[in-house]
């Protein structure tokens, strides 16, 4: 029997040195030398790579918001890289409005007052100036605030205010967003973008994801508009979704924990989801919320938490005592060190010298044997796993300032946190996430091994090809 596909290059994380991986149908059928693999070559076998690159299991992005990422591509980008001042924000919105018929909403995103040179959000008057004839909604980088122009408020029948907090709930379904065929096209583009980044599986823990939202996403996966394997976490009410597919699984319940959360209510939600057999993904970014999340998990017992792989999302600012508690409670941590790069300057400006040492404490968590998996939290940061790996090793801001360099981990470890650990975070590590005989053939061919290039060059390694379940998803 011949192979359908043979990937050539140094093989990541195999039990012995290997230079080739052969695939038949959806699975890996051979790992070893180039010579032995090429013996499986037939007339229709596809050969990936020239043997000089690196073959790894496909990247798992263990935390992104897929529909938001897809929609974002038709919105006006006002992130700091594109629009560092209010004048630049206004110019970007003006240009965006010029492309749209008068009266249609301009959806812009990405401002953050602490990054803008003026150190404040744009005013209603400034947005009116940018676009008097279009209603404008400019979303904060985090999604937790928005500013609108006068026409925007008038359209919504709301009294104008400087900043709209938690606009997701207020604006849901009130500002038209792409849907139907238009959205499906954006979804295909977004999936292709993930394939080009080497992402073969993503987890989508979007808070409040309803049964309808999940059904729609599953539909795109089944129709192959989305090529990746998809694991979702959503509202508790959606936990009755049982129609899992070959590449789609609804795994759990997303529970948001903030400074305002009541510990008993969080614990009750966690216990309820656990009782229904669901995994729990607890959003907790820093100190107080992390304590509440840990407390809720501790009530289940560490053995149960490990077995179910209940997870804490973010744990971005995590002092050593809390890291030790996370280890004791058995939780998996899903986090995104590339924020050190993207938002590092903000951390430097806003955190005390002591607090900076608590940012993304990867080495502390790893040495305490906490299972860690990496995600991008896209669209907040770009879905590019190599950037996360570089940030985990290098720990520098965009301008090159170090952030808690003692928390650095090595590139080979970081790679496993974006592959096997991501699969494990949704209990799929028996099926994919590493290269071995019989595993599903989710592979990426990189131009180089991240462990052999200078840390500052990891993010620029090119992705040559991406294979999902034995099928070519992307080739350079």
> Which residues contact Zn ion (rule: CB under 5 A)?
377
The token duo for 389 is 């790996």
Compare residues 334 and 465 and give the one whose CB is closer to Zn ion.
Answer: 334
Compare residues 225 and 377 and give the one whose CB is closer to Zn ion.
Answer: 377
Residues 269 and 239 sit within 8 Å (Cβ to Cβ): no
Compare residues 377 and 407 and give the one whose CB is closer to Zn ion.
Answer: 377
Residues 291 and 272 sit within 8 Å (Cβ to Cβ): no
Compare residues 126 and 377 and give the one whose CB is closer to Zn ion.
Answer: 377
Cβ at position 11, least distance to Zn ion in Å: 32
Beta-strand runs (E) in 375-446: 443-446
Cβ at position 304, least distance to Zn ion in Å: 25
Residues 420 and 57 sit within 8 Å (Cβ to Cβ): yes
Cβ at position 65, least distance to Zn ion in Å: 6
Cβ at position 331, least distance to Zn ion in Å: 17
DSSP 344: H
Q: For the chain, what is the total number of helices (H) and then of strands (E)? A: 19, 22
Separation of alpha carbons 417 and 371, rounded Å: 9
* Nearest residue (beta carbon) to Zn ion: 377
Separation of alpha carbons 100 and 33, rounded Å: 56
Compare residues 233 and 358 and give the one whose CB is closer to Zn ion.
Answer: 233
Compare residues 377 and 394 and give the one whose CB is closer to Zn ion.
Answer: 377
Find, among 254, 194, 184, the residue nearest to 230 by Cα: 194
Other C-beta atoms within 10 Å of 192: how many?
16
Cβ at position 211, least distance to Zn ion in Å: 20
Cβ at position 309, least distance to Zn ion in Å: 18
Residues 348 and 317 sit within 8 Å (Cβ to Cβ): no
């Amino acid at each position: 029997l011949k192979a359908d596909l043979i990937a050539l290059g140094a093989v990541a994380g195999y039990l012995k040195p290997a230079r080739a991986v052969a695939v038949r149908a959806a699975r890996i059928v051979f790992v070893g030398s180039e010579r032995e693999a090429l013996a499986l070559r037939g007339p229709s076998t596809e050969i990936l790579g020239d043997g000089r690159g690196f073959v790894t299991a496909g990247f798992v992005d263990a935390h992104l918001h897929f529909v938001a990422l897809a929609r974002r591509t038709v919105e006006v980008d006002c992130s700091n890289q594109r629009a560092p001042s209010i004048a630049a924000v206004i110019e970007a919105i003006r240009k965006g409005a010029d492309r749209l018929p008068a009266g249609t909403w301009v959806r812009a995103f990405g401002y953050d007052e602490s990054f803008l040179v003026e150190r404040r959000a744009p005013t209603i008057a400034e947005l009116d100036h940018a676009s008097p004839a279009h209603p404008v909604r400019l979303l904060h980088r985090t999604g937790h605030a928005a500013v609108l122009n006068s026409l925007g408020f008038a359209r919504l029948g709301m009294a104008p205010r400087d900043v709209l907090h938690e606009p997701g709930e207020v604006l849901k379904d009130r500002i038209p967003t792409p849907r139907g065929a238009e959205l499906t096209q954006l979804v295909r583009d977004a999936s292709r973008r993930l394939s080009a980044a080497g992402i073969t599986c993503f987890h989508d823990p979007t808070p409040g994801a309803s049964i309808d939202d999940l059904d729609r996403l599953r539909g795109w996966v089944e129709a192959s508009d989305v090529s990746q394997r998809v694991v979702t976490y959503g509202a508790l009410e959606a936990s009755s979704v049982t129609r899992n597919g070959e590449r789609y699984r609804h795994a759990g319940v997303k529970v948001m924990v903030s400074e305002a959360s009541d510990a008993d209510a969080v614990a009750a939600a966690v216990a309820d989801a656990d009782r229904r057999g669901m995994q729990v993904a607890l959003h907790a970014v820093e100190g107080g919320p992390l304590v509440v999340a840990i407390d809720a998990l501790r009530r289940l017992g560490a053995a149960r938490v490990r077995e179910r792989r209940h997870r804490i999302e973010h744990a971005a600012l995590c002092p050593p005592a809390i890291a030790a508690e996370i280890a004791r409670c058995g939780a998996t941590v899903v986090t995104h060190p590339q924020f050190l790069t993207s938002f590092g300057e903000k951390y430097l400006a806003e955190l005390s010298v002591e607090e900076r040492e608590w940012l993304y404490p990867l080495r502390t968590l790893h040495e305490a044997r906490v299972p860690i998996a990496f995600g991008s939290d896209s669209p907040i940061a770009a879905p590019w796993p190599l950037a996360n790996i570089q940030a985990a090793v290098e720990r520098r801001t965009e301008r090159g300032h170090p952030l808690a360099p003692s928390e650095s981990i090595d590139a080979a470890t970081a790679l496993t946190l974006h592959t096997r650990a991501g699969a494990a975070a949704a209990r799929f590590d028996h099926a994919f996430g590493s290269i071995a005989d019989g595993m599903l053939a989710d592979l990426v061919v990189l131009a180089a091994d991240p462990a052999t290039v200078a840390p500052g060059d990891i993010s620029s390694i090119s992705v040559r090809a991406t294979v999902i379940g034995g099928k070519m998803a992307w080739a350079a």
